Structure 1
Amino acid sequence: MAAPKWLCITLVRAYVKDNFVDKGMCADFAIHDKGTGNPHVHIMLTLRPLKENGQWGAKCRKAYDLDENGQRIPDGKGGWKNHRADTSDWNDKGNVEISWAAWAAYTNRSLESAGRPERIYHRSYKRQGIDKIPSVHLGTAVSQMEKRGIRTDKGAVNRQIAADNKLLKEIKARITRLYRWSKAETENHKRSKAA
């Protein structure tokens, strides 16, 4: 059962406000749900801060490179060595991880409140410690073709990955059973020796 559209809008609006707007960003979002099993949201953010007077600030500035004494370093052309420095940390790659983690938390709270068992995770299988091969992203066109029964190369890759993951799960289960059996046999052997 899909979540009501108003709930999705409320969730996205709260996430955007709390994670971007409250930090001073201008944000816009669009929810796309064509009923094809791929609902998603696009969030557009600015990298330019707003100044106190309501004008747009610069997204970057020139910063001079300094030597060990804190002095500007000549560039050999009559100027100074410099680099571009962002005026905010909004474009820092570390913020992506924070944003994804926040989205997972917001979504999971909503799923829990709605009594739904599903949960989302912002980390890859590997980072979650799950020994599972991730599938490849199909995209809209390939997904539609697969739903109509048209087999595609990407679909074939995902079918093979699903089969490999099933086999991997079965092998792990067998190993676990063998380990438990071996442990039980060792304990039985110790007990019979002690008796």
Structure 2
Amino acid sequence: NPHAHVMLTMRAMDERGKWLPKSRKVYDLDENGERIKLPSGRWKSHKEDTVDWNDRKYCEIWRHEWEVIQNRYLEANNRPERVDLRSYARQGLDIIPTVHEGAAVRQMEKRGIQTNIGNLNREIKAANSLMQSIRQLIKNLKGWITELSEKRKELLAEKAAEEAVFLPNLLMKYMEVRKAERSNWTRAGQSRGTSQDLKAVSEALSYLQRKGLSTVEDLENFIETSGKSAADYRKQMKPKETRSNVIDAILAARTDCKECKPVYEKYQKIFFKKTKEKFKLEHPEVARFEKASAYLAKHPDDKDSTKKELLQEQAKLVGEIADLKVPLTEVQEDLKKLRDIRYWVRKATPGTEESKEPP
């Protein structure tokens, strides 16, 4: 996650090397094209930059060039990673970003001291990883369902409907296929292999029985339900993660307001406009205070909440996120078991492509 500050001049220069103004005064006009007079007797105006070098579009261009350079070197060194500087939202990805930790939190975490932000980030990473795993498993299993349904149609045409419909029959056939594959093994090896297969298939049959899965239709419905359950759990987690991020931002804004208030009060007492602008440029605390105040103003409901109350709320949210991760893990385990069954059934079904993904 590269971090950079881009510093540049805001003034243009003429052909003789003389600095030019970085801004100019522009008078506001009414609908008739006339200047607008204020109660003070002055004309209403605003400031415009003489150059557009501070426009955000240039930062976007530079960020993109940095992305291209990184990917070029990653590819040249045969690395699989690729960099994308767009946010998850702009990429259209259903992934929650982690919270910025800051130097103090990072140092505490390195020393083995757990923090609220660190715990939240660990929960977010775990949840994102779970959802990615579940989405991939569901994608693979749905492909297999289609493949198995097509094979069943072929078997139906051959009047082998019973074998095509019932998964337990196919698992038992897998045992026969494995036995044939070991025909040139030693007797001890055949015995060990058969024992291992029998144990694995027995567990699979027991699992199918517990879940009430015996046909392709049962399996398809179960996978569909599992996907919806996973999405529902993730949907419940997102607002809790968002609220926890807001709490972190509120606490940081309060700290900034407290630290920068003395400097900001001095700034407010300055009467002359140019002196005031110069003071603001020389004291970044002013901008920090204004930004923090603006953020707190956006969350008036938290104005009277104490730091202790907010931290307690955040700790509760982190706990609830961890609780929701439990059923997500269970969904993942179910889908992993079905992946193993898919592998065995493919081996037992002539004409289907054997899975490259072992149990």
TM-score range, shorter chain: 0.5 to 0.7
Match of 2:46 in 1: 83
Partner deviation per Cα, 1:133-174 (whole Å, 9 max, x = no partner): 211121222112212211111110111011101211122123
Match of 2:102 in 1: 139
The 1:127–1:76 alpha-carbon spacing in structure 2 relative to 1, beyond 3 Å, is closer
SS in 2 for 1:44: coil
Q: How many residues align?
A: 157
Q: Distance in 2 between matches of 1:99 and 1:150?
A: 37
Pick the structure with greater CA Rg: 2
Greater fraction of residues in strand:
1
Match of 2:35 in 1: 73
SS in 2 for 1:43: coil
Out of 8, 13, 31, the position equivalent to 1:50 is 13
Normalising by structure 2, what TM-score? 0.38
Bigger RCO of structures 1 and 2 (CA < 8 A, at least 6 apart): 2
SS in 2 for 1:42: coil
Match of 2:130 in 1: 167
Structure 1 unaligned segments of length 5 or more: list them.
1-37
Q: Which amino acid aligns with 1:91?
A: N
SS in 2 for 1:54: coil
The answer on whether the counterparts of 1:50 and 1:57 sit within 8 Å (CA) in structure 2 is: yes
Match of 1:60 in 2: 23
Query: Are residue 153 (structure 1) and residue 120 (structure 2) matched?
Result: no
Q: Distance in 1 between matches of 2:79 and 2:138?
A: 33
The answer on whether the counterparts of 2:11 and 2:19 sit within 8 Å (CA) in structure 1 is: yes
Q: Distance in 2 between matches of 1:122 and 1:72?
A: 46
Normalising by structure 1, what TM-score? 0.65
Q: CA RMSD for the aligned pairs?
A: 2.8
Structure 2 unaligned segments of length 5 or more: list them.
159-359
The answer on whether the counterparts of 2:30 and 2:36 sit within 8 Å (CA) in structure 1 is: no
Q: Distance in 1 between matches of 2:3 and 2:106?
A: 15
Q: Distance in 2 between matches of 1:76 and 1:148?
A: 60
The answer on whether the counterparts of 1:111 and 1:117 sit within 8 Å (CA) in structure 2 is: yes
SS in 2 for 1:188: helix
The answer on whether the counterparts of 2:28 and 2:36 sit within 8 Å (CA) in structure 1 is: no
The answer to which of 50-59 and 39-48 deviates more is 39-48
SS in 2 for 1:160: helix
Q: Which amino acid aligns with 2:35?
A: I
**TM-fit CA distance, 1:68:** 6.1
